[in-house]
Structure 1
Amino acid sequence: MFNNVLNKAPLLLAALVLLGCSQEEDKYYRADCIVRINIDWSGYYMERRLAVQNRVLPEAARAYHETLGFDSPVAGPSGSVKGEGREYYYLQFSGMCDRRYEFAENIITYFEDNFDDVPPMEVDPGRFEPGRDTIEVYGDSWIDGERVYQPQ
């Protein structure tokens, strides 16, 4: 029996190594999880713009969960509004980042279906790096998620 256990030990070790590798493969770099929604604020004066932003954009996590179901293993996205005219809405997902464009499209559809006075929005197909001008969320969800202090 002892020999039988010794014969299976390498298989068990190989399985554990593969399991560890597959879990790391599920992680993404932060840039792989960022998507930008472009907002056309034409015809929206500042007060109206802020009212829409404060009412609509915080609903992104709810929109995401309505798409995947509230029992999703991945938390809703973090969001950041940027741009000189606040015309860019960056979302950073914590998992399933290869579907970020699909999720962003679903979020736009949710906004259009559930809110009045939503400006035209479109998902930007570009790639965006985390930073002050985009979105900068850290954490264990990403390969490069450890926050490293960088002097300004």
Structure 2
Amino acid sequence: MCGWIRVSNSIKATADTPTHTVAAPLVERLVATLQARVPGLLAVYGFGSRVQGTAGQGSDLDMAVLVAGYADALLLWQLAGELADRAGCTVDLLDLRAASTVMQYQVITQGVRWWARDAQASLYESTILSEKTALDAARAGLLADIRETGTVYGR
């Protein structure tokens, strides 16, 4: 299925949902810019305080893109400036695939998928969930020690 994803917290809900403060027309313009400029674009996400409805006056707009392979870092930096001009605030734009597992998990669980080209985004999101589960299992002992001792590496 191409186009806008229809889920409870998607772009279609932003106009009526007070917890998502990025207006749908703005999201559509931002996504259209990315669709036109980012090769191999698979999905666009919004996350952070502006999406969660907790933004302050100086808050930025956090966005992520999922592309086939990895996005060009210079292009993302240039686009962040263009998107900031459209959004009226600073935009942080990250390559979801290049982000840490923890950051990927935050984007897909606390953010909103604003657009996806097809089902590849959902498949990648499933992979992120699996990787985060494996990471949590691998570091469970360390986290338990930190909770118990209140220190990291004995400091």
- Name the TM tier (shorter chain): 0.3 to 0.5
Greater relative CO (CA pairs within 8 A, separation 6+): 1
Q: TM-score, normalised by structure 1?
A: 0.39
More helix by share: 2
The TM-score, its normalising length taken from structure 2, stands at 0.38
Look at both structures and tell me which one has the larger radius of gyration over its CA atoms: 1
